[in-house]
Structure 1
Amino acid sequence: MAKILMVLSGVDYWTLTDGSKHPSGYWAEEFVVPHRIFTQAGFTVDIAAPVDGKPAADPVSLRPDAAGPEADHFAAYIEEAAEALANPTALPDVKTADYDAIFLPGGHGPMEDLAHDPDLGRILIEADAAGKIIAPVCHGPAALLSANLPGGRWLFAGRELTVFTNAEERLNGTASRAPWLVETVMSARGAVIRSANPWQAHVVVDGNLYSGQNPASSKPLAEKLVTELSSR
C-alpha cells in the first residue's frame, strides 16, 4: 500500500505585519480529514516537521464557529494522534524515496516556517524529480516556495495550482495583517493560479502536482490521491 509523508508546520504562531505573534499552526480539518481518508484506505501516513518543530492546531480551527459541527471530532482525532504529532520526523531525516506522496496541510503556520525550510525544499525537489505526488492545500502551497533550484529558479514556476486566495484572506479578516499573501507571492514567482469562488471546494491537478484551495478542498483532494495511488 501507499506511504504518505504529511508535512506540518512546527510553529504555533504567525508573525503579523506589526511584528506580533498571532496564535496559529496547522488547520485542523486539513490534517484530520486527509489523515483519516488515507489511513482508512490502508495507507501508511508519517508526520514530519522542521527540526525541533512541534505541530499545533490553529485554535480557531477547533472552534465550532469556524470548523462547524465537526469541531469536537477534529479535537478528538488530534488527541488520538497526539503521540505522532508530538514526535514528528525531522525534515533532515526524511528519505524521500520511502514515500509515494507528500501532503502539505495549510493554516498560516506554513507561511512562518515551511516556506523557508531548505530541508523541505530538498524533499520537494527530489519528490518532483521522481514523479511522486505533491499535494498542498489552502495555505499549504506556501511550503512550495522552499523548493529553489540552483541559480534561484523556483521549481514550480509555470505550474498550475490553486491556493487560499486573496479574496478568501480578505473575507477571513486576515489580509490586512498578513506580511504577505500566498496567492500574490506565488503568482509573482511564476505559478499559474486557478481559483474558484471563495470557500468553494476546488482541486487542481497539473501532472504530479495536486492542490486544494481551502479547508473544504481537503476531502476531495485526499480522495483524488487515494484514487490515483490505489491505481498504481
Structure 2
Amino acid sequence: MRNLLMIVTGATSLTMKDGSEHPTGFWAEELVTAHRDLVAAGHRVTIATPGGVTPTVDAVSLDAAVVGSAETVRELEAYLASIAGELAAAVPVADVDPADYAAVVLPGGHGPMADLASDAGVGRVLVAANDAGTIIAPFCHGPAALLSATLADGTNAFAGRRLTVFTDEEERTGGTGENTPWWVETALRDAGAVIESAAPWSDHVVVDRNLITGQNPQSSASVARRVLEALAA
C-alpha cells in the first residue's frame, strides 16, 4: 500500500470572460474513477484542497444528459456519498508534505482554473514532487494546476515536458465555449509545455517520465491505470 495525494479544487465558481459567475467544482466522473481505482488497488488516498475546504461537485457532471444515463449518475452519487467524510476532512494543501506521498493526482472540472492554477501551495507541492521524481497525474482541466509550479527564475517547472490537457477545441465545442475566461491548453503552451492532443473526447494519455496526463473525462480510467502501473514499476 502506498500513500497517494489527490489535490482537488475547492472553487465553487469561475469568473467568465463577460464577468458573470459560472458555477463549478470538481468533475464527478474524474474524481470518482481515479479515487475508486486507486483505492481498489490497495492504496490510501488523502484528499487535499486549497484552505482545506470541502470540495464541491460540479452539478453539470451529475446531469444524465452529460454523463450518459441516470444509472451512471446514481453510481457517481453513491460513490461520492461513500467518501463524503473524506471530502469533508480535506487537508489544506499548505499543510501537505510532498515527501509523504508516492503520487499526486489532480482531477479536473473547471474549478482548477479558478484556484489550483494560481495557488502557491499547490505550486510548492508540485515543484517539490517533480524534483523528487514523484508521480504527478493531472487530467482534463487538472493540468491547469501545473501553471502554479513556478521556479525561482520565473519559469514553469513543466516547461519542455510532454503532456495533454482538455483542449481548446473541446472547451469551445463542449465546455464553456467562447465565454471561457482563458484557455488551459493555450496557457500551458505559453508556459513552455509540449502539448500532445488526440481527437476531441477520445481516451488519450501522455506519459513523460513521472508526469502522467489525461486529455478529458474519457481518459480518467486510463490515467488511474497508468498511475498504478508506475507505482508497481
SS at match of 1:4: strand
Unpaired stretches in structure 2, ≥5 consecutive residues: none
Shift of 1:78: 0.7
Shift of 1:75: 1.0
After superposition, where does 1:70-85 map in structure 2 within 5 Å?
70-85=72-87
Given that 2:52 and 2:91 are in contact with CA atoms closer than 8 Å, whether structure 1 keeps it comes out as: no
TM-score (norm 1): 0.97
| 1:105 alignment counterpart | 107
Shift of 1:53: 2.5
TM-score (norm 2): 0.97
Distance in 2 between the 1:54 and 1:145 partners? 23
Give the one of 119, 122, 127 matched to 1:120: 122
Give the one of 218, 221, 225 matched to 1:219: 221
Given that 1:166 and 1:184 are in contact with CA atoms closer than 8 Å, whether structure 2 keeps it comes out as: yes
Over 3 Å counting, the alpha-carbon distance change for 1:36 and 1:173 in structure 2 is: closer
Deviations 1:6-34 (A, max 9, x none): 00000111111122211110100110001
Distance in 2 between the 1:132 and 1:219 partners? 20
The ranges of structure 1 where at least 4 consecutive aligned residues each deviate by more than 3 angstroms after the TM superposition are: none
| 2:151 alignment counterpart | 149
Aligned residue pairs, count = 231
| 2:98 alignment counterpart | 96
| 2:23 alignment counterpart | 23
Distance in 1 between the 2:147 and 2:177 partners? 19
Given that 2:52 and 2:93 are in contact with CA atoms closer than 8 Å, whether structure 1 keeps it comes out as: no
Over 3 Å counting, the alpha-carbon distance change for 1:140 and 1:173 in structure 2 is: closer
Distance in 1 between the 2:101 and 2:179 partners? 37
Corresponding letter in the other structure for 1:59:
A
| 1:59 alignment counterpart | 59
Shift of 1:80: 1.1
Corresponding letter in the other structure for 1:31:
L
Give the one of 163, 182, 191 matched to 1:180: 182
Shift of 1:173: 4.8
CA RMSD for the aligned pairs?
A: 0.9
Corresponding letter in the other structure for 2:204:
H
| 1:8 alignment counterpart | 8
Shift of 1:3: 1.4
Given that 1:13 and 1:24 are in contact with CA atoms closer than 8 Å, whether structure 2 keeps it comes out as: yes
| 1:36 alignment counterpart | 36
